[in-house]
């Protein structure tokens, strides 16, 4: 039986052999006491590479983002965020429910950014009728799109002008960095070019970087000290977490530059689906391909996902399909996926 081609998300990856070896050899301690050497090494390495004072290992990106927001904001404060940003739409409303922080969601521009004019218009005056606007939260990549560096600089300057802190949900930060670095460039330098515009950044290791679990929050020493308290409160204090941190550290050292391969496979997939009359294929910038089903073809496309599954290909979506490439997919798998879609619409 042919191997399953799982394009639902880059979270489905399995640890590589080298990563498993790193996990098996990891020296361990009790991270709640702060003495797990593998956790500490990961935190120090990422903070140094991204230009921050300190970092903290979390079980998930949701937990990392939540503790960042609660470290920046108090009860009754507000954060400005995109309508489709993960911290607003896909994390269970944690900032509002657990942090009593009001979101102020804004519509995205076609490139995934938030209009500078919209940001400025939604910063509340210092008046007791309003929640206190304290934080601007952006995401990069956002729906697979890379926010331009000049936009990040302008948004950062606007936030600073109004006394706001700046948080980046960088779940796929290194996808954006690899795009920015280009062929032969330094992705770590490209990542710093992004993160220099933020007071904190959350980086996920269980997506394109291929680790089984974990995200790291970077920021100032004071912010990370506050985030450590919140992490304990929300149940994120792990003990011998070095087993997981070792996997993330291996990914940081060995699996960043290879993200370019995922981006090339996304381009291959998008190119292969071009010309199917029922579909509108968005040109991917990184490792996520969105494919719209044209209104007149919605009924016809109703059986597409079951058909793909019957051919050993997994994807998500209804009116808009999402395919995500990752280290467990190769060119042959992409070609199988394209063939299965074309077979359905033939």
pLDDT digits (tens, 9 = 90+) for 4-63: 999 999 999 999 999 999 999 999 999 999 999 999 999 999 999 999 999 999 999 999
Query: What letters, b where the CB count within 10 A reaches 16 and e where it falls short, cover 245-276?
Result: bbbbbbbbeebbbebbbbbebbbbbbebbeeb
How far, in Å, are 48, 90, 249 from residue 62 at the CA level? Answer: 23, 9, 20
Residue 319: pLDDT band (50, 70, 90) is confident
Count of domains forming the chain: 2
Determine which helix (DSSP H) or strand (DSSP E) holds 69, and give its type and residue range. Answer: helix 61-72
How many helices (H) and strands (E) would you count in the chain? 14, 13
Sorting pLDDT into bands at 50, 70 and 90, what band is 204? very high
234 and 330 fall within a common domain:
no
How high is the mean pLDDT of the chain? 97
Give the containing element (helix H, strand E) for 339. helix 331-345
Average pLDDT rounded to a whole number, residues 254-283: 97
Share of the chain above pLDDT 90, in %: 97
Is the same domain home to 247 and 275?
no
Is 320 found in the same domain as 203? no
Query: What is the spatial order of strands in the sheet that 288-293 belongs to?
Result: 279-281, 288-293, 320-324, 316-317
One domain, residues 329 and 341: yes
Per DSSP, the residues of 150-204 read: HHHHHHHHHHHHTT-EEEEEETTHHHHHHHHH-TT--HHHHHHHHHTT-SEEEEE
Q: Tokens standing for 122?
A: 């939604």
pLDDT at 165: 98
219, 340: one domain: no
Query: In terms of domains, do 207 and 70 share one?
Result: yes
Q: State the pLDDT confidence band at 1, using cuts at 50, 70 and 90.
A: low
Pair (200, 57) in one structural domain: yes
Joined tokens for residue 337: 């996926």
Distance of CA 227 to the CA centre of its chain: 19
76: domain CATH number?
3.40.640.10
Q: Where residue 275 sits, what CATH number does that domain have?
A: 3.90.1150.10
What does the alpha-carbon distance between residue 190 and residue 43 come to, in Å, rounded to a whole number? Answer: 19
Residues 6 or more apart whose CB falls under 8 angstroms from that of 302 comprise none
Helix (H, G, I), strand (E, B) or coil at 325: coil
Grouping H, G, I as helix, E, B as strand and the rest as coil, residue 304 is: helix
CA 261 to chain CA mean position, Å: 18
Q: Look at residue 318 in the predicted model and tell me its pLDDT.
A: 74
Is the domain of 185 the same as that of 197?
Answer: yes
Residue 325: φ, ψ to 5°? -90, 155
Model confidence over 54-98: pLDDT tens digits?
999 999 999 999 999 999 999 999 999 999 999 999 999 999 999
Contact yes or no for 234/66 (Cβ under 8 A) = yes
Region for residue 288 given its phi and psi (left: phi exceeds 0; alpha: psi -120 to 50; beta: otherwise):
beta
Query: Final residue of a domain: which of 195, 230, 254?
Result: 254
Final residue before a domain boundary, out of 221, 238, 254: 254
What global pTM score does this model have?
Answer: 0.96
Q: Final residue of a domain: which of 236, 254, 272? A: 254
Residues 135 and 239 in one domain: yes
Counting Cα atoms < 13 Å in the Cβ hemisphere of 342 gives 13
Whether residues 235 and 322 share a domain: the answer is no
The per-residue pLDDT for 183 is: 85
Quote the domain boundaries for residue 301: 5-11+258-345
Statement to judge: residues 244 and 225 lie in one domain: yes
Token pair 């770590």: residue: 188
| 101 shares its domain with 162 | yes
Tokens of 88: 């607003």
How confident is the model over 107-154, as pLDDT tens digits? 999 999 999 999 999 999 999 999 999 999 999 999 999 999 999 999
Span 281-289, average pLDDT? 98
């Amino acid at each position: 039986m042919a191997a399953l081609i799982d394009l639902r998300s880059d979270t489905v990856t399995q640890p590589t052999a080298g990563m498993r070896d790193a996990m098996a050899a990891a020296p361990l301690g009790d991270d709640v006491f702060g003495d797990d050497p593998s956790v500490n090494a990961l935190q120090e390495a990422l903070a140094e590479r991204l230009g921050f004072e300190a970092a903290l290992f979390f079980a998930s990106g949701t937990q990392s983002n939540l503790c960042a927001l609660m470290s920046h904001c108090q009860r009754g404060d507000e954060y400005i965020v995109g309508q489709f940003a993960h911290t607003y739409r896909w994390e269970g409303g944690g900032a509002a429910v657990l942090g009593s922080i009001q979101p102020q969601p804004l519509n995205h521009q076609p490139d995934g950014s938030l209009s500078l004019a919209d940001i400025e218009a939604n910063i509340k005056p210092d008046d007791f009728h309003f929640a206190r606007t304290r934080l601007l939260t952006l995401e990069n990549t956002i729906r697979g799109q890379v926010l331009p560096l000049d936009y990040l600089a302008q948004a950062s300057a606007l936030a600073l002008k109004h006394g706001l802190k700046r948080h980046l949900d960088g779940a796929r930060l290194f996808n954006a960095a690899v795009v920015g670095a280009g062929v032969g460039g330094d992705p770590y330098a490209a990542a710093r070019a992004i993160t220099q515009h933020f007071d904190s950044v959350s980086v996920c290791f269980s997506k394109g970087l291929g680790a089984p679990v974990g995200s790291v929050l970077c920021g100032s020493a004071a912010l990370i000290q506050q985030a450590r308290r919140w992490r304990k409160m929300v149940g994120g204090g792990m003990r011998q977490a070095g087993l997981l941190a070792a996997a993330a550290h291996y990914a940081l050292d060995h699996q960043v530059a290879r993200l370019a391969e995922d981006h090339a496979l996304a381009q291959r997939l998008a190119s292969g689906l071009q010309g199917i009359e029922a579909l509108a294929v968005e040109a991917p910038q990184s490792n996520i391909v969105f494919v719209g089903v044209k209104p007149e073809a919605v009924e016809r496309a109703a059986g597409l996902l079951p058909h793909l599954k019957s051919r050993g290909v997994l994807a998500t979506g209804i009116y808009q399909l999402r395919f995500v490439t990752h280290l467990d997919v190769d060119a042959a798998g992409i070609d199988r996926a394209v063939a299965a879609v074309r077979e359905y619409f033939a």
